[in-house]
Amino acid sequence: ESIDNVALHSYLQNNVKKNGTAGQVGLDPSLVQKATEDTQIFDQTIREPAEPKPPLKTATDYNKPELFMDRLNRLLPDCPPHNLSCDSHIRLFPQDVERLERELLRFQIPRKMIVKFRDSEYVSIQAWRWMNDIDKGEMCPNCELRHNSEEFLRWNQTTRPGEETHLLINLACSRDPIQKEHTNQITVGGCGESSAGTGSGYYRSGYKHYDYSSGFYDPSEDKSSPFIQTYAHMHFSPDNRHGFPELKNVTDVVKLLLRPPAPFPRNPIATDDGMFSHNNCGGFRASFIRKILADTNFTIARYGKCLHNRESNLGDQSCRNVPEEDFFHRDCEAHRDSTKTVLSSWHRFTFALENTLSPDYFTEKRYQVLYGASVPVVWDNDNSLAFLPDPDAAVVVNYKTTDIASTFNELHALSDEEFFQKYFAWKERGLRPSFVRKLFMSTDYLPCRMCEHVAHHHFPDGEKRRNRLHSTSSKIKSAAGLYPVGV
């Protein structure tokens, strides 16, 4: 029996002692007998523990290094798809995550590893804010990034004459093979788009041209790619502006997510119930918004080109007419993403609706809203709920079956007290471990993960050792529910 069940049985037993026989309080005598037996077992095994069992073996015990996915699976086991109750009895707070972080982000890279982004590739923000620089190189030593266009990188590391790079990265959803620069080079393909949308070509066949696939969806048959990532980027929070902290690690993210929400109004120019900011007005997403506007009292500020009706005081999100020195994180992409976080923070609700419905495709939209202490409106598709910190943290809708008039008129009519109690009480309960797992899988740490994995699986002792496409090390798991002491 689990401790929770034993405690329940013990409670029933004590209730009978205080209030009479089982029959007098409406309890089955056999249940009370079971409670007595379980309480005795509880006393013997928990209050008076027997000799401790040997710890579960990890990769290290088998003379193999425990890499990032090994550590993650041991410390934060994932829930099965669509099973939101597997970790509902455990909640994490910043002090818990800080302990986990110290162990999880201890990358073991025994030799110098160089990650090169494809020359024509636009390097996303995780390379601009290279986390290893923020951590002064202590987080993942011996891991370096390269790109031959200085325009893309703040850390200004171009390849040097005669230098051989160990990994060649192409994250552009390519369907075509990539040309290796030398025979020992490991190639990693990736795609940040939907497997049912613009990324379908890569996820159907393009990924097979690479040694590894890195994206937000794992196309491999055994779902064992060591480089799967999530959209929980840290640059979604403006760097120390508009009341937001700069996020330097996952503990900072958790502190922001659990920070008590500020009361409304948060900005005098933002009086609408919700916020919608998109440029593309095609598809079912825009149709859903149009129906809300036509059939309900729910008001929506539309800051993008689609159904535009409001101006912000933050400048053009496309970075035009904004001096570069005013960019959030000194980068246009980060400025655009952080601006949406600020806009979300002004409104009770923010529409974080994806343009396609695909498993694991839950993008920056919901994280921006959560960071901004607004309530995301999200689609109820595939494993969408698994990408929320708590089932009560969002308004979940189905564009085919949701009663739009009833749902959004009720949201419009909520008092401040009703709103905060309904949608922010989860902050006091803490975060589900399986959601915290997704925060650690952010793209921010992807280069460190690549350096560590490839160093041990392909360049041990300076010589390349071929391995099958996806390492079996990512499958070494502990029993679900084993967390650090105190968590």
Domain shared by 10 and 133, yes or no: no
Domain shared by 418 and 464, yes or no: no
Number of domains present in the structure of the chain: 3
Question: What is the C-alpha separation between 194 and 84, in angstroms, rounded?
Answer: 23
Within a domain: residue 159?
A: yes
Within a domain: residue 482?
A: no
- pLDDT grade for 151, boundaries at 50, 70 and 90: low
Within a domain: residue 96?
A: no
Q: Three-class SS of residue 188? A: strand
pTM: 0.81
DSSP state of 311: -
| CATH code of 358's domain | 3.40.50.11660
Domain shared by 289 and 361, yes or no: yes
Q: How confident is the model over 354-358, as a mean pLDDT?
A: 94
Within a domain: residue 52?
A: no
Domain shared by 423 and 279, yes or no: yes
Residues 44-91: tens digit of each pLDDT: 433 444 455 444 444 444 456 899 999 999 999 999 877 888 888 899
Contact 104, 313 (CB under 8 A): no
User: Any idea how long the chain is?
Assistant: 487
Domain shared by 456 and 425, yes or no: no
Domain shared by 405 and 368, yes or no: yes
Domain shared by 421 and 459, yes or no: no
Residues 224-281: tens digit of each pLDDT: 899 999 999 998 998 889 999 999 999 999 999 999 999 999 999 999 999 999 998 9
Domain shared by 174 and 115, yes or no: yes
Domain shared by 274 and 421, yes or no: yes
Within a domain: residue 30?
A: yes
Within a domain: residue 380?
A: yes
Contact 303, 317 (CB under 8 A): yes
DSSP state of 208: G
Contact 68, 214 (CB under 8 A): no
Q: How confident is the model over 286-301, as a mean pLDDT?
A: 97
Domain shared by 323 and 349, yes or no: yes
Domain shared by 381 and 464, yes or no: no
Cis, peptide link before residue 81, omega less than 30° from 0: no
Residue 156 CA, chain-centre distance (Å), reads 28
Domain shared by 457 and 342, yes or no: no
Within a domain: residue 59?
A: no
Question: What is the C-alpha separation between 385 and 222, in angstroms, rounded?
Answer: 23
List phi, psi (to 5°) of 86. Answer: -65, -30
Strand boundaries in 26-166, DSSP class E: 113-117, 143-146
Within a domain: residue 91?
A: no
**In which domain, by residue range, is 304 found?**
259-429
Question: What is the C-alpha separation between 400 and 219, in angstroms, rounded?
Answer: 28
